[in-house]
Structure formats: structure tokens, C-alpha cells
Chain A
Amino acid sequence: MKEGFLIEQERLEHEAAASLKSSGLINDIIRYFRKKSIFVLAYGTGCGAIEMPPTFTSRYDAERFGIRGAATPRQADVIVVSGYLSFKTLRRIIHTYEQMASPKYVIALGSCTINGGMYWDSYNTIKQLDKYIPVDMYANGCMPRPEALLEAFIALQKKIENDEEPSGWERYLENIEWYRQNQRAVLGEDIKPAYEADWYTEGR
């Protein structure tokens, strides 16, 4: 099984190789809108959370790239998981992630989400976020500065524009069994069997 940083390395190389692909005019336009407008659900879990307010306020002003905070998970496009995740928080993250409307993306902020960081031998944190929800972009560092977070956002925008397939939420839906298995391994059997959004959209 690949470790988080290897996956990231592979992604970076992949990104350098990828050039702008076109898949029809309509799709290009839709992707352009998606790229230009990103609503962020900032889920402050670890110490990295403190870097998010400066990113969105006057000093670093993420809004100039079309990136702004979302009030509820329903309206969000991106969830930022900032740092280490205890098992308890992981459950909330999964609930939140599954209630977001697709297309949706995950940005993992900080070393803790990649390989456990300085909590590598902790008994109640997860070590590799990508095993539980599909991460689209990592910002590494302990803790990453707002510049790094902005860079992650811009890399994500490039990824959206290049339409790299499959994106995280598609991977999640395809491999839901694998993700559920990993989730059950740390959270016990008390986790919903099906994709949670199905429950909400049932009877549509």
C-alpha cells in the first residue's frame, strides 16, 4: 500500500505532465466556472486551523481567486481538513463530507494528514487521511503557512481545469466499500453502510 507522501509525489509529477485537455466546449465552460468559484468549508481539526482565518481575511485575501467561505456543508465545494484527526473527529468529517453536494474536493492541510506528522505513534489519531476520505490536494508542512494553503487551492484549481479523472468524490463512490472498510477499522461497526447522501436524496 502506498504511503501518503508517495501518492502526493505521484500527483505532482502527474500534474507537471498534464497539459490542458479539452473535452467539449460546454464542459470547458462548466469547468471554468468551477475553477473560478470555490466555496470552502473550513473544518478546523488540528493546530493548522489557525492558518485559515488569515488566508481568508485582508492579509492574504483568498477571495481574489474566487475562494470564499461557505456557511454550511450543503453549499461547499471544498472541505479543508486542517491537521491531525482524532477518531471522534473523523466520524464528523465523514458525515460532513458525505453531505456535501458533488462535485466536491478535499484539501488536507499539514503533515498530520499525510503520514501522522508528529502524532505518528498516537493511539487515537488517524495517520493517513486518504484512507478514509479521498484527498484531492495536500498542503504539507507543520504547520503550512497561508501561502502554502493558497498554493494548494491554486493547484486544485489547475486540477479542476485540467479535468483530472477520476476526481476524489468519484473515487470515493467507486471504492465506497474499501473506504467503509477502513472507516470501520477505526470507528467500529457503528458507521452507516451506504453512502450517506443517498439517504438524503432518496425518493428523488
Chain B
Amino acid sequence: MTILTIMGQGMAVLLFAYVAGMLYYGLYRNITARFQKRIGPPVLQTFYDSMKLLFKDEATAFGWMFYLGPVIMATGSVLTLLLLPFLRVWHEGSLSVYGDLFVILYLMVMGPLGNALAVGVSGNPFGVMGVTRGLTRLMGLELPFYIAVIGVMSVAQSSDIWHIIAWQQIHGINMIHYPLLFIAALFSFVGFMGSSPFDVVAAPQEVYSGPRSEFSGKFLGLLMSQNAIFGFAKLLLMVDLFWGGADSIVELILKTFTLFLVTIVIGVVYGRFKVHQAVDFLVKFPTLLGVVGLLLL
């Protein structure tokens, strides 16, 4: 396993995640529009938006700490993606043999915290409000998700995601064997994807896009691009943990898109929770499901 294969494979994964993420989020807007009886934007719209922003000026300057925020976020997303098993056949020459589930769970929180730093520097009240809402929500999101992850780890007797995938190869996928754990994780997952009813962070009508409200131009474009990559990474994590990974690209696309469709449909049907309602709901219902699931292991 040379450094070149690792880098080549990493670039390929990154490129694939970027393209897929952009298309998925474009479809998100298009499908949402269809639900609302509109024609909706073209599928490439998210891509157009981010590219346009990358060629724009910035309107603000708050020093380098401010600009570090999007960069930390992008770093977190890219690392999360690279440390996740991509295809089952790509075990050799993949960076993901080095990471385990604990690292992934840590990295998933790193981005938002980095962004919180930048927003704090800008001092925008809406941004600070958005960050506060985000961190409050995170407490609710993490509880059921971690419970489900603990369950998955304890059945596979390993925190290595490759082991968890291998275990599913032998015993069947976790989604079917441990549906309660899966449902508990799915609730958090919908929140992690920033979909209604848990989209309290950037609520445009309340906090004017929250943490993003001071970002313009290239940095907003960077935030949008990393969001596409991170979105795909989260889908990949769910597929790896509960759906036994994927063997081919087609299988991967089918599995991730099915999961994505679930979040779209949930997001379209439900309105937004208030912050305390979201946390309240998450620590009650999904957490309870997760605990029952753990007891039934």
C-alpha cells in the first residue's frame, strides 16, 4: 500500500462524494418543490449556487480567526469522509483502516465547533443564536445516536467500522436484526442532515440562516461545498453501520439515496420544532427506543 494509492483513492472518494452530494442536495430542492406543487430548480442548482459564490467577493472581514471557521468545517467533513469505509472491495489502500468509530464521532462534532469559533469572532447576534441552538440540539441528537452506536459496537465486539461491516456480512444487516437501534439512530440522522423537524440551527425566518449569517462570497461557497461532502459522509456512515456497506458504486448510490429520500420526505411533511421541543422529543422517544433496543440485544 503506497502513499500514491492512498492519495489516489482519497481523491476519487472525495470527488465522488462532492458530485453525489451536490446532486442529492439539488434533488432535495427539486423534490421538495414537487411536493409543494412547484416545478422547482434544476438538479444542478446547488452546484450553480456554490460555484457562483466561489467567484464572488466577500463583504466582510473579521480577521483570520473568522476565516478559519469554514476551513475547519471543511477539514472535518473531508476527514470524516476519508476515514469511512467507502466500498467493501476498497479495503486495501484506503485511509479508513486507520480510523475507528470513536474518531468519526469526534470528527463529526469538530466542524460545528470550529464554526462556532468563527461566529464568535464575528459577534453577530443571529450567528451566536444559531450556534447556541445548534449546540443545544446536538445534546439531543447525540444521545439516541450514541446509544445506537454502542449497541452496534457491542454486537460486533469492535469499534472498527470494517469489523462491523464484516459482522453484517456474516450475520445479516443490523437494520433488520436491530430495528429499534436503527430507528433511534434514524431520528438523529434526520437531525444531523439538517432536515425538518430538527432544522432549528439555520432557521431562516428566525435567526437569518444562523451561523452562516456573516459569511459571504467564497466562504459561503466553501460552506456549501463542504456541506455536500459532509452530507454524503453521513449517509455513508449510516449505510456502513446499519446496511452492511456496499460492494459497487451502483449499490452505494441506491442505498445512500434511499436513506436520503427518507430524510427528504420527513423534512417535507413536518414543520420545524422549536429548540426545546426538538431536544425534548429526542431525549424522550428515540432515546427510549434505543435503550429498549440495547436491553433486547
* Chain A residues in the interface with B (C-beta under 8 A): 30, 33-34, 36-37, 39, 58, 61, 63-64, 66, 68-69, 71-75, 77, 99-103, 197, 200-204
Task: For B51, list chain A residues within 8 Å (CB).
Answer: 33, 37
Q: Contacts A61-B39, A69-B204, A200-B60 given; 18 further ones with Cβ under 8 A?
A: A34-B52, A36-B42, A58-B37, A61-B38, A63-B29, A66-B49, A68-B41, A74-B213, A74-B215, A74-B220, A75-B212, A75-B216, A75-B220, A101-B57, A102-B56, A200-B61, A203-B61, A204-B61
Contact B58 A64 (CB under 8 A): no
Q: Does any Cβ of A come within 8 Å of B98's Cβ?
A: no
Is the pair A197, B59 in contact by a Cβ cutoff of 8 Å?
yes
11 A-B pairs with CB atoms under 8 Å apart are A34-B52, A36-B42, A58-B37, A61-B38, A61-B40, A71-B209, A72-B208, A72-B214, A100-B59, A101-B56, A102-B57
Question: Are the CB atoms of A71 and B33 closer together than 8 Å?
Answer: no
Select the residue from A61, A99, A100 with max chain B CB neighbours within 10 A: A61
Complex Cα distance, B39 from A58, in Å, reads 8
Residues of chain B lying within 8 A (CB to CB) of residue A75: 209, 212, 215-216, 220
Q: Is B48's beta carbon under 8 Å from chain A?
A: yes
Task: Please measure, in the bound complex, the distance between the C-alpha atom of A111 and the C-alpha atom of B27, giving whole angstroms.
Answer: 39
Q: Which of A36, A63, A71, A197 contacts B213 (CB 8 A)?
A: A71
Task: Assess the A74–B204 pair: CB atoms within 8 A.
Answer: no
- The number of chain B residues with a CB under 8 A from chain A is 33
Known: A61-B40, A99-B59. A37 touches B45 (CB 8 A): yes
- B2 interfacial by beta-carbon distance below 8 Å: no
Q: Which residues of A contact B126 (CB under 8 A)?
A: 72
**Which chain B residues in 106-120 approach chain A with CB under 8 Å?**
none
Report B45 CB to chain A, min CB distance, Å: 6
Q: Is the CB of B58 within 8 A of A201?
A: yes
Q: Which residues of B contact A33 (CB under 8 A)?
A: 48, 51-52, 55
**B93, CB-defined interface residue at 8 Å:** no
**A39–B36 CA distance with the chains assembled, in angstroms:** 20
Chain B nearest CB, measured from A43 CB (Å): 14
Q: Is B99 an interface position by the 8 A CB rule? A: no
Contacts of A103 in B (CB 8 A): 56-57
